Amino acid sequence: MTDNTANVRDLGSLQGPVLLFGGPYSNLLATQAMRKAASSLNIPDANVICTGDVVAYAGEPFETTNAIMDWGVPTVMGNCEESFGGEADDCGCGFEEGTACDVMSRQWYAYANATLNPAQRAWMRGLPGQMRFELNGRQFAVVHGSAASINEFVFEATDDAIKERDLDALGVDAIIGGHAGVPFTQDLNRRIWHNAGVIGMPANDGTPRVWFSVIRPVGNDIEIEICPLEYDHAAAASSMRDKKLPEGYAKCMENGLWPNMDVMPEAEHANAGKAITPSTFLWQGRQQVAAE
């Protein structure tokens, strides 16, 4: 899979809050709700970043791709964009062969692959593997999986050495990753690994809510808020069933539980069905830390 240290788009120095979301996953209703929420928060499109996987499990791959293209927000290439753009045989999600997720992915991938047009695939091929920006004096890198691989799953329980490896490799103060689907913010000796979660599928927390985040400058500090997003999940599930897509994922839209947890570290399995609480993390500025 792609090494995300190549093909970098630099967004420069951003002012004001930055909204981050991942995994629209062919979920048009969630994507529309996300755009409406960004507008209600008065966050300009240039400050909205998608961490990739525009097309995946849900029922409107063609329409969701058009919605993101029309919105025009900076978007990182996910493994699904790499696969669809390159007309690969599978999604490249990193599921172990023969697992439930691997079997189900072949079903939704075939459906989505038959709906996308050449212009959409060209847009996917042109997406950067990494984005960078500066906010309040700190350097951020945005990747899909990890700096080492576009489809590496990085959860909060993933070994810290992997996250520190990437922070060192990219030479940044913070990495924003996607792919894993569960939001978290982790402080690694004053450097940050953050995942905003995804909007196309619940976070295995037993609720149909989906997740995004907002990063705000506050004085010399930066505030990282993990936020829930409500949308018409019942209609999204119904659309999937109408198209004969995997029932496990359609059911997940309603009950918030993943049909399989093979990709998760064992330490995270116990959190299945435990509702995530919206949270705010205060990343203190260097001046304040020095004063302490």
pLDDT at 73: 98
pLDDT at 290: 37
**For 225-267, what is each residue's pLDDT tens digit?**
999 999 999 999 999 999 999 999 999 999 999 998 988 889 8
pLDDT at 1: 44
* β-bridge pairing 279-283 and 221-229: antiparallel
Which residues of the chain are under the pLDDT cut of 50?
1-2, 288-292
Does pTM surpass 0.85?
yes
pLDDT at 47: 98
Q: Which residues contact 171 (CB under 8 A, 6 or more apart)?
A: 139
pLDDT at 146: 96
**For 4-33, what is each residue's pLDDT tens digit?**
556 999 999 999 999 999 999 999 999 999
Please name the CATH architecture into which domain 8-291 falls.
4-Layer Sandwich (3.60)
pLDDT at 87: 82
pLDDT at 288: 46
Please give the full DSSP string across 12-71, using - where no structure is assigned: EE--S-EEEEB--TT-HHHHHHHHHHHHHTT--GGGEEE-S--SSSSS-HHHHHHHHHHH
Of 166, 191, 140, nearest in space to 5 by CA:
166
Q: What is the residue extent of each domain of the chain?
A: 8-291
